[in-house]
Copies of this chain bind each other. A is one copy, B any other.
Amino acid sequence: MLIVVMEKHAPVRQIGAVLKEIEGLGLQPHLSRGEHQTVIGCMLSGESEPVKSRLGTMEGVERVFPASRPYRLASREFRPEDSLFHISGVPVGSSRLAMMAGPCAVESHAQLMAVAEVLTASKVPFLRGGAYKPRSSPYSFQGLGPKGLELLAEVKSRTGLRIVTECLTTGDVELVARYADVIQVGARNMQNFALLQELGRCRVPVLLKRGMMSSLEELLMSAEYILSKGNSQVMLCERGIRTFEQATRNTLDISAVPVLKRLTHLPVIVDPSHAAGDRALVPSLALAAVAAGADGLIVETHPDPDRSVSDAAQALSLQAFAELMQRSEEVAKAVGRSFYN
């Protein structure tokens, strides 16, 4: 495949001409229109050189290159320096780490306020909490929905905490985007390409979780879906993969941190809670992630973990979370970094 990058703000006329040329060569063009830039993929059946020459000289074409790696905008080659973006004032992707914490599911105002109090005291900038929950069973609690979003909004207005919450379907993107500072894509949706494209068209930063049996290359290609539609604020999240080992819920692939930092400029967040599935293991994994070079953590904590409506086993008590926050800061300092607060 060839990637044809059009100049920024290239007029529709020029874009149309390139599409026509590709079809005239008997090839299949694939159009990706971001806000700032249009990219055209061109599937080849034979030699790439003649096609590359032909397209490279057309009006409005910035450059043409073969997609040696299947992702492009997500790659380090495309952008050698780390991405750094500000999410409602919080820098992510810099030398400062971002802590995101909160309950698996939004349950009540009281629950959220109890969590928020501890987060504020620990100077944690992001509150996570699910209003929509993807559940393996149709009979399980599926989240409070819009009511949950309202509860998050209330806590935000009282505390200033930025909200991280999941969106499950294309139909909900617009609504969730009105409430969220960061929209989370869950592991099961990592290859829900329609959802990724919809999120690419919105302006809210995205936390993209790795599928539990997805390769790092596939994770980067899913990020590419979002980036290619014009949303450049994508954070990648390692949350454990499936392996034969049954001692933990998933196997945290800690190597994903240095591997991703080499391949991509996007920030890498680690979720030790879903990886472990057991709160006793969460602190060790969180500290390991900081030491390995992660740009942030997303951790489950709950005022009364054993009464959590979902994933009870892996949520830290608020006190255990506060302790972890302190220990994480020590390790961050040891590797020359610090948490944003």
- Contact residues of A with B, CB < 8 Å? 1, 3, 28, 30, 32, 39, 41, 43, 45, 67, 70-72, 134-142, 168-171, 188-189, 191-194, 197, 211-218, 221-222, 224-225, 228-229, 241-248, 251-259, 262, 275-276, 280-281, 284-285, 287-293, 307, 309, 327, 330-331, 333-335
Shortest distance between the CB of A225 and any CB in chain B (Å): 5
Across the interface, name the chain B residue whose C-beta is closest to A67: B139
Shortest distance between the CB of A29 and any CB in chain B (Å): 10
Q: What does DSSP make chain A's interface, helix, strand, loop or mixed?
A: mixed
Asked whether A138 and B225 contact (CB < 8 A) given A213-B244, A255-B247, the answer is yes
Q: Is the CB of A255 within 8 A of B281?
A: yes
A192 and B169 CA atoms in complex are apart in Å by: 8
A218 and B138 CA atoms in complex are apart in Å by: 11
Shortest distance between the CB of A197 and any CB in chain B (Å): 8
Chain B residues in 8 Å Cβ range of A247: 215-217, 255-256, 259
Chain B residues in 8 Å Cβ range of A168: 193-194
- Pick from A70, A137, A241, A333 the residue with the most CB of B within 10 Å: A137
Q: List 22 A-B contacts (CB under 8 A).
A: A30-B140, A41-B138, A43-B140, A67-B137, A67-B139, A136-B221, A169-B170, A170-B171, A189-B191, A216-B247, A242-B244, A243-B251, A247-B256, A252-B253, A254-B288, A255-B275, A257-B288, A258-B280, A287-B291, A288-B291, A290-B291, A331-B331
- Pick from A32, A191, A221, A327 the residue with the most CB of B within 10 Å: A191
A99 and B254 CA atoms in complex are apart in Å by: 21
Shortest distance between the CB of A310 and any CB in chain B (Å): 9
Chain B residues in 8 Å Cβ range of A331: 291, 331, 334-335
Q: Is the CB of B1 within 8 A of A139?
A: yes
A222 and B193 CA atoms in complex are apart in Å by: 19
A221 and B291 CA atoms in complex are apart in Å by: 31
Asked whether A245 and B216 contact (CB < 8 A) given A45-B307, A141-B43, A255-B252, the answer is yes
- Pick from A215, A243, A248, A284 the residue with the most CB of B within 10 Å: A284
Q: Which of B70, B134, B241 contacts A191 (CB 8 A)?
A: B134
Q: Which of B1, B134, B139, B169 contacts A3 (CB 8 A)?
A: B139
Q: Is the CB of B243 within 8 A of A137?
A: no
Q: Is the CB of A246 within 8 A of B215?
A: yes
Q: Which of B142, B229, B276 contacts A255 (CB 8 A)?
A: B276
